Structure 1
């Protein structure tokens, strides 16, 4: 039986419609949205607030959650190649994406956090997202997310 780890991801949009993307600390050129696993006993919204705070330094008072969609799934590459479990006791992740509007008085994004996930960040138009920034196993999910939230075909 395939097991998926619960995961949340933040689509943070500023007042001019630009979308926050962050470059992974350990993989230069790999850009993604703030995201992470849901801890035991934690609600999805609690996980979202924790992950956004830990990864980009924004508290829940700095953005408004305006919608969410769930059920986006991907398998880790090792599972696809026949290995049983890769990490966190799961074969892949099942993600819930949250569309968040950044408030006008929010501080700047800060990726220089204690446990650093990202090296840099940028604000882009949703249609500027490039699937080549992602590992192949995540691309289908990002295509769906960009279509579902921004009506953008990648």
Structure 2
């Protein structure tokens, strides 16, 4: 009698298309904002790409929705694609997405600080500030996003951020 070894069935992760926005000012500081529902969690603005929308259009829409900055207040500098993360603990977004695949955009902020409005639409952030890229702390980022943030800082700024001590 032959022995059968069943291989468990795995369902591939479906990644939601998403954009991340690195906004820099004249002093080469970066814009970070603290999540309203998670004190101490600072991040870049980001959001999903809607059906029928391209990544650049989504980037401008998300920037206006999340931080009130309109396209006339920024200059697009560079874009990099292919950053992926899976959500923690098998969580699904919209019942189907097990993670996100992001396109990151770096933009120069041409406006004034008074142009930032965290309550422009649905408020996701409680505070914001400009920091030097090397001041960013990996402890501000949920564990499941840390590999992407490390790669983004390496790709855009040539910085290798220190891992979080556990």
TM band (smaller chain): over 0.9
TM-score of the aligned structures, taking structure 1 as reference length: 0.93
What is residue 70 of structure 2 aligned with on the other side? 59
* Structure of greater relative contact order (alpha carbons < 8 Å, 6+ residues apart): 1
Decide whether the 8 Å contact of 1:6 with 1:37 is kept in 2: yes
Segment drifting more, 105-114 vs 28-37: 105-114
Task: Return the alpha-carbon distance in structure 2 between the equivalents of residues 114 and 145 of structure 1.
Answer: 27
Secondary structure of 1:97 counterpart: strand
Task: Return the alpha-carbon distance in structure 2 between the equivalents of residues 23 and 106 of structure 1.
Answer: 16
The answer as to 2:146 corresponding to 1:134 is no
TM-aligned CA distance change 1:53 to 1:104, over 3 Å = closer
TM-score of the aligned structures, taking structure 2 as reference length: 0.86
* Residue-pair matches, total: 149
- Unpaired segments ≥5 residues, structure 1: 80-84
Task: Return the alpha-carbon distance in structure 2 between the equivalents of residues 137 and 106 of structure 1.
Answer: 31
TM-aligned CA distance change 1:16 to 1:97, over 3 Å = same
1:63 Cα offset (Å): 0.4
- Unpaired segments ≥5 residues, structure 2: 1-11, 162-166
1:106 Cα offset (Å): 7.1
Which deviations, in whole Å up to 9, do the C-alpha atoms of 1:17-76 show, x marking residues without a partner?
100000001011000000000000011111001100000000011001110000000000
